[in-house]
Amino acid sequence: MRVMLLVGTRKGLFILDSDPDRERWSIRGPLCESWPIYHAIADVEAGTIWAAASSEWHGTVVWRSADLGETWEQSGEGLTYGEGGPPLTKVSSLTSAGGRLFAGADFPGVFESADGGRTWSLFSTLDDQAAREKWLEPDASPPGRLGVIATMPHPAAPEHLYVNVQGFGLFHSTDDGASWAPRNDGMRADWPLEDPAWGYCVHKVVFSPVDAERMYTQTHVGVYRSRDAGATWTEITEGLPSDFGFPAVAHPHDRDTFYVLPVDPGHGRTMHDGQLAVWRTRDAGEHWQRLTDGLPGPHAHLGVLREGLAADALDAPGIYFGTSTGQVFGSTDDGASWRQIADYLPGIASVEAVVWPG
C-alpha cells in the first residue's frame, strides 16, 4: 500500500509518497513541465493521475499519467467552446467518479472525457439557468476566473450532479445534466442578489464519504451544513474566528467531523493573528475546536486555497493541507497534532490524498 499526495502548484505538480505509516515522505517534481496546476486528482480503479494545467503561452490541457506519475502525456483536444464561443481560460477542477471524468472550466462550463482524458467534449454550460447570462459578462466573475470549481455526482445517485459556479453558487441536476436548478437555500449573501436563488459565493462544497445526504460548505460568508443533499443549508459559522475561508474537508469515517481553515476576510486572506490553525467540528458544526499543535505562528501570514485541504481514507485518516507559501502539513490523529512534511514548494493550489493498493 502506498499513500500519495498530489500537490498542484503555480510551478508544476509535485507528488509526495509515503508508506501507510505516513512518517517519512519523498518528493517528486516539478512534474508536468512546471505548468501552473489548478487541480490534480487520481482514480485508483482507473490507475490514472490527472492534472489540470493552464499556461499563459500554450493554453489549457489536462496532463495524465498511467504509471503513478513516472511518465506523462497531455491533451487539450476538445477543451474549447469553439469559434465564436466564450474563451476557455482554464480548467480549474477535475472529478473522477463512477467511471466518469469531468473537467470544470472558465468561462463556466463542464467537459467530460470518455477515454480517460485523451479527448474531451462539452458536457454542459447550464444553458437553462438565468444566472448564465450574468456569468457570461466579462467582468462578472470573481478574481481568478475559475468558472466551474466543482462537478460532483451524488455518491448514491450518480445521475444527480452538482456543479459549483464560482461566485454564483451550487446548481443541481437530477437528469444527468439535461436540466439544472439552484441549490443554495439557506445560504447568506452580503451583497445584493438579482435573484435569491443564485449569486452565492460557495468556495468549497463536500459530501460526507459515509453519509451521502450530509454535505458541508465553506462560503465567502459562512460555513453551512446540509442533511438533505443540499436541498437546504443551515449555517454553522458560530464559534469560528470568521465566516470567510476557502478549503473544507469531511472526515472519511465520521459524518459529523469536518475541517476548515478560516482566514481574514479582508485584503490579506491570511491566518488570523498569524497563527496557522485548522478548525474542526465533531458534532456537525455545533461546536468548533482550534487545532494548532505543530503549526507555526504568530507570524505565519499565509492562506490555503479551496482545493488545498484533503484527507486519505485509511483507518486512522491523514488530514493534509498545502499553503500559499509552499508548505504541506499533515496529521494522522484527527488534527490533534500536525507535522510539516514539505517546504519551499511553489504556492500551492491543490492537495489530494490517494491510497494505492498493493
Partner 1 sequence: MAAVRLPKTVLPLFDGLAPLQQADGATVAEALVALDARHAGLLDRLCEPGPRLRRHIRVFVDQTPAELATPVGSDSRIDVITAITGG
Residue found by looking up cell 479527448 in the block: 119
In the complex, the smallest distance separating the C-beta of residue 12 from partner 1, rounded to whole angstroms, is 12
Which runs of consecutive H residues, i.e. helices, occur in 282-347?
A: none
How is residue 147 written as a grid cell? 468558472
Rg of the chain (C-alpha set): 19
Binding test (CB under 8 A) with partner 1, winner from 74, 174, 179, 275: 74
Which lies closer to partner 1 via its Cβ, residue 77 or residue 185?
Answer: 77
Among 47, 87, 196, 298, binds partner 1 (CB under 8 A): 87
Minimum distance between the CB of residue 58 and partner 1, rounded to whole angstroms? 4
What is the distance between the alpha carbons of residues 301 and 275, in angstroms, rounded to a whole number? 8
Does 75 participate in binding partner 1 (rule CB under 8 A)? yes
Q: How many residues bind partner 1 (CB under 8 A)?
A: 18
In this structure, the dihedral spanned by the alpha carbons of residues 204, 207, 213 and 215, taken in order and rounded to 10 degrees, is -30
What nine digits make up the cell of 44?
Answer: 485508483
Among 20, 30, 59, 177, binds partner 1 (CB under 8 A): 59
Choose, by CB under 8 A, the member of 12, 76, 117, 247 that binds partner 1: 76
CA distance 302 to 167: 23
Give whichever of 80 and 174 is closer to partner 1, judged by the CB atom.
80
DSSP-assigned letter for residue 11? T
User: Shortest approach of partner 1 to residue 118 CB, angstroms?
Assistant: 10
Q: Are 203 and 306 in contact (CB under 8 A)?
A: yes
Q: How far is the CB of 323 from partner 1 (least distance, A)?
A: 19
* Region from 40-48, 73-81, 303-311, 347-355 binding partner 1, contact rule CB under 8 A: 73-81
Q: Which of 17, 20, 30, 55 binds partner 1 (CB under 8 A)?
A: 55
Tell me 33's DSSP state.
G
Of 274, 336, 330, residue with least CA distance to 303: 274
Least distance (Å) from partner 1 to the CB of residue 81? 8
- 77 scored as a contact of partner 1 (CB under 8 A): yes
- Say whether residue 56 binds partner 1 (CB under 8 A): yes
Residue 325 in the binding site for partner 1 (CB under 8 A): no
Q: Which amino acid is at 4?
A: M
Please, are residues 293 and 336 in contact by the beta-carbon 8 Å criterion?
yes
Which of the ranges 54-62, 286-294, 296-304, 327-335 carries the binding residues for partner 1, by CB under 8 A?
Answer: 54-62
> Does the footprint of partner 1 cover residue 17 (CB under 8 A)?
no
| SS3 per-residue string spanning 113-134 | ECCCCCCCEEEECCCCCCHHHH
Q: Cα angle vertex 246, ends 224, 212, to 5°?
A: 45
Of the pair 80, 275, the CB lying nearest partner 1 is at 80
Binding-site member from 81, 235, 265, 274 for partner 1 (CB under 8 A): 81
CA dihedral (303, 24, 10, 356) in degrees, to 10, reads -110
Contact assessment for residue 71 and residue 65, using Cβ atoms and an 8 Å cutoff? yes
* Candidate residues 21, 24, 57, 267; the one interacting with partner 1 per rule CB under 8 A: 57
* 94-123: contacts with partner 1 (CB under 8 A): none
Q: Which helix (H) or strand (E) holds 135?
A: helix 131-135
User: Which residues of this protein are in contact with partner 1, per CB under 8 A?
Assistant: 33, 55-59, 61, 74-77, 80-85, 87
